[in-house]
Amino acid sequence: MLIYMLLSSISLLTVALNLLVIISISHFKQLHTPTNLLLLSLAVSDFFVGLFMIFQIMIIDGCWLLGDLMCSLWLILSSIITSSSIGTMLLISVDRYVAICYPLHYFTKVKAKRVQVCVCLCWMFAALYNSVLLKNNLEKPGRYNSCIGECVYDMNYITNIFDLIVSFLFPITVIIILYIRIFGVAVYQARAMRSHIAVVTMKVTVKKSEMKAARNLGVVVVVFLICVCPLYCFALTSKNNLYTTSSVTIVIWLLHLNSCLNPLIYAILYPWFRKSIKVIVTLEILKPGSYRAKML
């Protein structure tokens, strides 16, 4: 009973906190920056993770009660949300890479409209990719179940390896490489500033605000990697291609926990999020013209 209460509380907290992020970025005009639009996409996926946690709570004892069709839909939607989260993290890393390593081109190349297009393409690819990957489960719900109340999906060895490369190894490798490059530029500039040497190779000094944003988003990315890696490592080391929802409960809940941690990280690192929470909670957001409030 305590486990059910704890997990239900995490689910509700995840939904509530990410809803605050969604309202904040969507409502306040000053927050409509390219980077914040990526955070908005991440908050949307985290919001749905919080909702889907309810279904995960239902099968802690290993029994699915909503039928085979709902099982297939839940598995596909969960996969789409996970893929979109990883894709958004990749976009965040690219955004910070361009801002830090090519500061002169950032404001001319990275526009809000372009970021919106990239986010839409990310979600569309996640939906199409996972629908094709798990189409057998959707065409014949419950075809891999060995008993009533089971909720499983199956992938052959080649498909499983392909999925691991596309969904995990490739994007995670790119994210790590980009942040290593960002870290290298940050260290170089710090040394140059200490020795009062002009940063000739960069052509321009990176703004402190951009560097701070890279650090803050780096925390988000590192926490995400810590939470998501165990699930895919489990898949890599598993000798069985058939996964039951109960067999990976711990690693799945660790992945879900990341969706609750993200808005908490924003609250700690971003003053604008704390300001927006205050405006929302005190209902000042309902006042005419509140969308023009100064948040940054």
Going residue by residue through the chain, which has 296 residues, state the pLDDT in tens, using 9 for 90 and above.
787 788 888 889 999 999 999 999 999 998 999 999 999 999 999 999 888 887 776 666 667 777 778 888 888 888 899 899 999 999 999 998 888 888 888 888 888 899 999 999 999 999 999 988 888 777 776 666 666 666 776 667 788 788 888 888 899 899 999 988 888 887 777 676 666 555 444 444 556 666 777 788 888 888 888 888 887 777 666 655 445 545 566 777 788 888 899 999 988 888 899 999 999 998 888 888 888 888 87
Please give the Cα distance from 203 to 148 (Å, whole number): 65
Contact between 126 and 87 under an 8 Å Cβ cutoff? The reply is: yes
Exposed/middle/buried for residue 86 (C-beta within 10 Å: 0-12, 13-18, 19+): buried
Q: How far apart are CA 41 and CA 48, in angstroms?
A: 11
- Per 3-state DSSP, the chain is made up of helix, strand and coil in percentages (nearest 5) of 75, 0, 20
Cα separation, 250 vs 89, whole angstroms = 22
CATH superfamily, region 2-292: Rhodopsin 7-helix transmembrane proteins (1.20.1070.10)
The model's pTM: 0.85
Q: What single letter denotes the amino acid at residue 59?
A: I
Long-range CB contacts for residues 22-26, cutoff 8 Å, separation at least 24 = 22/47, 23/276, 23/280, 23/285, 24/272, 24/273, 24/276, 24/277, 24/280, 24/295
Q: Where are the domains of the chain?
A: 2-292
Q: Residue 148: which residues within 8 A CB-CB, separation 6 or more?
A: none
